[in-house]
Amino acid sequence: MRLSLDVVVPTFNGWDLTKRCLEHLRAQTVSHSVIVVDNASTDDTVPQVRRSFPEVHLVELPTNLGFAAACNRAASVGTGDVLVLHNNDVFPRPDFLECLTQPLSGHPRLGSVAALLLQPGERTIDSIGLTADRTLAGFPRLRGRPAADAMAPRPVLTGPCAGAGAYRRDAWDDVGGLDERVLGYGEDLDLALRLLAAGWKTVAAPSAVGVHLGSASFGRRSAWQRYHGGFARGYFLRRYGILRTRWSVRTLVTEALVVVGDAILSGDVSAARGRIAGWRSANGLPPRPLPPPEAVDSTITFLESVRLRRAVYRT
């Protein structure tokens, strides 16, 4: 029996991107429902969606609640067996949804599937899910590698990138969806870790291909972006108790390098302020259990972790 699909597209301005994204989704080879959840856009996104895409279910939020909260609101109004999170700056091939959700059929404990996102030109991988090192720092998996390497087994797949990933609704509901305490960044890695800790499995679908423009919504290395990226890192470090593990020294050294490097490159301390605010925000919240060993790639060394972070900043 074919699984029913809800595709969630969060928006905040950027109507041109949203229009192109919805046109690609309209051309998909399998039936699905699209839910656009708008974070109080100030451009013509809402009226244009109504006018140009009447088949879309539109959820309007009164204020910008952030990515996680928007996706959770959209998920709560959907009824599909599978929930696909899809950024408006991702343009999928016509068989994207079909290939992305096919692995979920017949595998009831498979909780999520990661798509292959390519950079413009379709020669280079932007990500095929996420990977994490021992400090639970997350990275776009296989970023910068040739598209032909999409089936490489290393680094370990931790879970989908929320820019384009499928989640079995039972799995999503089991762990409570995305953590709304972070406005953006890191919430997809956290969801992946919680799904694995709850016993759900994940796989990659290299045949589910979309082109990702990258940072089209948040801006490239803006102060806002760096602050909220830092906030998420500080928040999740405390929730998972990483500084109480044997990897605490490595974590502190890596974070210090990142914060200092960011301050030198950007001329401000947004990344540091974000980490402090995120750490304080997690105060008093119950700790999360560390994920199972297979959730992280233990082969990512300290130096490799630093290199991966530099690569993320560079792109």
User: Taking residues 181-189, what's their average pLDDT?
Assistant: 92
Instruction: Tell me the residue length of the chain.
Output: 315
- pTM confidence score: 0.94
Domains and CATH numbers, the chain: 5-212 (3.90.550.10), 223-314 (no CATH)
Q: Quote the DSSP letter at residue 54.
A: T
CA distance 134 to 56: 41
Average of per-residue pLDDT across 251-265: 92
**What's the CA gap between 113 and 105, in Å, rounded?**
11
Please give the Cα distance from 273 to 251 (Å, whole number).
17
Q: Is the pLDDT of residue 6 over 70?
A: yes
pLDDT at 184: 80
7 strand-pairing partners: 34, 84
| pLDDT tens-digit series, residues 26-40 | 999 999 999 999 999
Spatial separation of the C-alpha atoms in residues 290 and 286, rounded to whole Å: 13
Which residues, other chains included, contact 213 with Cβ-Cβ below 8 Å and sequence gap of 6+? 17, 89, 90, 91, 120
Strands 5-11 and 33-38: parallel
The answer to whether residue 315 scores a pLDDT higher than 60 is: no
